Amino acid sequence: MIDRTKQLIVVEDLKKSFGRLAVLRGVSQTVYEGEVVSIIGPSGSGKSTFLRCLNLLETPDAGRIVFDGQEITGRRLRVDEYRRQFGMVFQQFNVFPHLKVIDNVTLAPVLEKRLPKDAARAAAEELLRRVGLFEKRDEYPTRLSGGQKQRLAIVRALAMEPKVILFDEPTSALDPEMVKEVLDVIGDLARSGMTILIVTHEMGFARRVSDRVLFIDEGVIMEEGTPEELFENTKTARCREFLDKVLF
Amino acid sequence: MLETIAAIWQKYGYVYLQGMWGTVYIALVTVLCGTLLGTLLSVVRLSRFRLPQELIRLYVWVLRGTPALLQIYFFYFFVPKYLPFDLSERACIIMALVANAGAYVEEVIRAGIQAVDRGQGEAARSLGLTAGHTMTRVILPQAVKNILPALGNECIVMIKQASLASIFFIVEITSAFKTVQSATFITIPALMISGALYLLLTTVLSALMKLAERRLQRND
């Protein structure tokens, strides 16, 4: 599935501080089209900040990001258009509570891609069917469970037909019995060839679906490799220590 | 007492009714324009333009830190002099009330917008929504629920504040009392009628606000 000839995201020496706290201290990375990359590491290590820098929810202090051949840092850029190429799924779902399920999905395509309402609705229904939310299309999100909300958030992101989807701890706020239904959707997406970056604490999942795993600690990528390399032949002591502490 | 009140109402009821329409008119314009002004101010203040932000801070600081009565004097004596067209006394006073209301409403609306979960804005922006669409289609519709109760209180203040116009003998409820009192030399009963009319207006407004709040809560 991975197109090794096509570098989709190239990050060079990315740095970001919040006040005096240096959260990212020089991160470099290349993600190829169709690649599924898991990002693991302790809390506060900079994983989420790294993800948020990619779609410019955070503005990097230094470094370069090249997306699809176009440099996006260091000069004025049409941020809204750029962000449309990224889907983002948050830990807290962030579905829009004032809109019905279907309107959550059609809002951005209608407003920003100027899709006719009927077409947007048909596409949204199709997507909702895929994740088993078709019957809920006219409900408000408050009537959904956590797992359903997160599936809705995924569908909402997909409706913009992004080139990459960023998942920021998508199952961390879920009740345990709902984790699987969300991971299944992400797994399907991974197999469909979508480029995915996922910050996760679900090690078993990371191992199953990832092409590559990054271990971030103290604002740098301490170790990276295929799931086998990273989980079975861990090279750095820090990563070993971290993996020993988490449950699989 | 009741008989006196009834007698006054029978003879001067029309004065009070005129006064009530005057108050309703002043309050309605103040509420509408004040809310509009306050919304605009708060949106600009939440934007990332530094200079307008500071100007609005200054505006709110002055308008909230000085008495409304003083502001009315200012608009009454000062503003008409520098306008190229004639402005009625009532219009001057309404302008002062709107300016004052705008400052309070700005605070209410800004607080309501800031109370909306940050993740909502981030989710909208990450979908590629423009800053404008994020505000009008995602943040504001949710902020309304936070804003409405406090805005209701502000509207009640605006109705009562219209009484300041009586100092300039603009037709409204308190002026009606003054008129009746100076014609009859009966004070307390005349005053009670005015009070009752204010209560009527504020009660109706409270009920309407309650209704609106309940409708908004339906999809919670």
Report percent pLDDT > 70 for chain A: 98
Mutual angle of helices A117-130 and A101-112, in 10-degree steps? 130
Q: Could you tell me which residues of chain A have a Cβ less than 8 Å from any Cβ in chain B?
A: 55, 57, 80-81, 83-84, 86-88, 90, 92, 94-98, 107-108, 111-112, 140, 142, 153, 156-157, 160
Q: Which residue of A has its CA nearest to B121?
A: A94
Tell me the CA distances in angstroms from A219 to A3, A15, A52, B203, one per residue in order. 28, 8, 14, 59
Are the beta carbons of B202 and B142 closer than 8 angstroms?
no
Give the span between the Cα atoms of B168 and B91, in whole angstroms: 12
Q: What is the pLDDT of residues A126-163, one digit of tens each?
A: 999 999 999 999 999 999 999 999 999 999 999 999 99
* CB contact (8 A) between residue B133 and residue A83: no
Q: Is the pLDDT of residue A74 over 70?
A: no
Of A92, A98, A108, the CB nearest to B127: A108
Q: Is the pLDDT of residue B220 over 90?
A: no
- For range A27-53, the mean pLDDT: 95
Compute the mean pLDDT over every residue in chain A, rounded to the nearest whole number: 94
Tokens standing for A144? 């959904």
Report percent pLDDT > 90 for chain B: 78
Q: What is the pLDDT of residues B52-111, one digit of tens each?
A: 999 999 999 999 999 999 999 999 988 888 888 888 888 999 999 999 999 999 999 999
Judging contacts by C-beta atoms under 8 Å, the chain B residues touching residue A107 are 127, 129, 137-138
Name every residue whose Cβ is closer than 8 Å to that of residue A85 and which is 6 or more positions away in sequence.
Answer: A67, A68, A162, A163, A164
* CB contact (8 A) between residue A55 and residue B117: no
Tokens standing for B43? 């949106």
Tokens standing for A91? 């830990």
Compute the mean pLDDT over every residue in chain B, rounded to the nearest whole number: 92
Q: How confident is the model at residue B219 (pLDDT cuts 50, 70, 90)?
A: low
pTM of the model: 0.83
Q: According to the model, what pLDDT value does residue A194 have? A: 95
Q: According to the model, what pLDDT value does residue A197 have? A: 97
Q: Which of A80, A86, A106, A150 to mutate to test the interface with B (most CBs of B within 10 A)?
A: A80
Question: Hey, which bits of chain A come out as E strands?
Answer: 3-18, 21-33, 36-40, 62-67, 70-71, 86-89, 164-168, 195-199, 212-217, 220-225
Q: According to the model, what pLDDT value does residue A182 have? A: 96
